[in-house]
Amino acid sequence: MTTTDATPQPPSVPMASIAAAAPVTETGRIESIDVLRGFALLGVLLMNMQAFAMPFSAYMNPTSYGNNDAVNFALWCVNHVLADGKFITIFSMLFGAGVVLMTTRARERTGKSAWLHYRRMLWLMLFGVLHGVLLWYGDILFLYGVCGLLIYLLRRLRPLLLLIIAGVLFCVTGLFLLGMESFVGKMSAKDLAGIKQMWSPTAEWLAGQEEAYRGSYMVHLSERAKAWASMLPMLVFFGWRIAANMLIGMALFKTGVLSAARSKRLYIGFIVVGFGVGVPMVAFGVHRQVSSEWDMVAGMGIGAVFNYVGSMIVAFGWIGVVMLMCQSGWLTGLQRRLAAVGRMAFTNYIMHSVICTTIFYGHGLGYFGKVDRTGQLLIVVLIAAFQLLYSPLWLRRFRFGPLEWLWRTLTYWRRTPFARA
């Protein structure tokens, strides 16, 4: 990978003393990427909390379940406008950037990277299956693994071509949303009932969800396995978008955007457009949904397009904020803690599921359906504070998070040093 003044590149790791493929070393890490990853992960928790605490319909349609007073509805609106789809977009971009970073360094060390990458993705898919079935049906790791198998083939393209392909892929899911009304008209009665149950479930179905997830582990294991399997067809629907985000991340990495290596003017532009254009767009989509009295087709079809497109724009606004913070040296203490959370993103992501299912599911405290959005926000703050506190402490004694270490060991098929000397 060459470096030019026009497209600054992340710093390379000296390779002269490295004889075989090995995980990225601490000196080879890019701080701004770790900070952004930690920031995005905590944002993902903010949105996932709704699906941990309540039936999934409440994530999309706040009128379908639970307390919908002014405060709770306002919280849903703020989350939807500023977080829903935005942080998972950033997280997916960083995954794509990570593919370029890891495979480039592997080729510099050994002259090859394909088998290493595919082995890494296959292990990630297995982790995703275990996570989705044993802990929480909202797993994203399996989908990341599938998309990671495919985007590897495009990793060496120029940034402009990556962005063009990403734009095409991004439009595929958008066309699905625009054609929702037509699709609904052609669905069988059974399939249509399933879609309606996802958007505006019956009281009987909601009671069944409460009973299942407040029940014993084996009871909600069965329910969760069915929920996870039912989401697999969504790979066809959302996989296009995830892959597009990963390709955009590759392009942003290659041009130095994610390394905080571009001009302040660029990042300020991201912020102005991201929040000045993206936020009003998503907010208008909420207005349409309220005006339609939360009609299913309006909410899941054309109405969803505003957030679908707006989430990408707002995501760039958040990227601008974090890159400008890293570049300007603001809040250095917070940056270090976010970077530690980002370096342990795999462990911290799974920890979210362990903590939240223990709080809400029957094998733990059984609070499923009993905590409104204000209470959920408090739980998010507490978990985020804990991870911001413990992640730096952990990394003082260990080189990796425990799951990062396991994934690396399985990928490179040799034991990676874990504890610090």
Rounded distance, CA 200 to CA 212, Å?
Answer: 19
Confidence (pLDDT) at 26: 56
The residue that leads in pLDDT, 139 or 181, is 139
The residue that leads in pLDDT, 195 or 47, is 47
Lowest model confidence (mean pLDDT) among 170-179, 189-198, 351-360, 394-403: 189-198
CA-wise closest residue to 233 among 159, 176, 291, 298: 176
Q: What is the mean pLDDT of residues 194-213?
A: 88
Confidence of residue 363 (pLDDT cuts 50, 70, 90): very high
For the chain, give the mean pLDDT.
Answer: 89
Confidence (pLDDT) at 23: 45
What confidence tens digit (pLDDT) does each residue in 132-178 have? 999 999 999 999 999 999 999 999 999 999 999 999 999 998 888 88
**Conformational region of residue 111, where left means phi above 0, alpha means psi within -120 to 50, and beta covers everything else:** left
Confidence (pLDDT) at 9: 39
- Asked if pLDDT for residue 227 goes beyond 90, the answer is no
What confidence tens digit (pLDDT) does each residue in 321-350 have? 999 999 999 999 999 999 999 999 999 999
- Cβ contact 317:270 at 8 Å: yes
What is the secondary structure of 339-403 as a DSSP string?
A: HHHHHTHHHHHHHHHHHHHHHHSTTTT--TTT--HHHHHHHHHHHHHHHHHHHHHHHHHBSS-HH
- Cβ contact 338:38 at 8 Å: yes
Confidence of residue 220 (pLDDT cuts 50, 70, 90): confident
CA dihedral 135, 140, 143, 149 (to 10 degrees): -110
CA-wise closest residue to 169 among 80, 111, 249: 249
Confidence (pLDDT) at 262: 95
Rounded distance, CA 42 to CA 68, Å?
Answer: 24
Confidence of residue 185 (pLDDT cuts 50, 70, 90): low
- Asked if pLDDT for residue 186 goes beyond 80, the answer is no
Rounded distance, CA 138 to CA 38, Å?
Answer: 19
- Asked if pLDDT for residue 25 goes beyond 90, the answer is no
Q: Where are the domains of the chain?
A: 26-259+329-412
Rounded distance, CA 177 to CA 308, Å?
Answer: 9
In this prediction the pTM is 0.90
The residue that leads in pLDDT, 245 or 223, is 245
Confidence (pLDDT) at 303: 78
Q: What is the mean pLDDT of residues 65-71?
A: 90
- Asked if pLDDT for residue 24 goes beyond 60, the answer is no
- Cβ contact 302:277 at 8 Å: no
- Asked if pLDDT for residue 180 goes beyond 80, the answer is no
Lowest model confidence (mean pLDDT) among 30-44, 122-136, 170-184, 395-409: 170-184
* pLDDT > 70 fraction of the chain, expressed in percent and rounded: 91
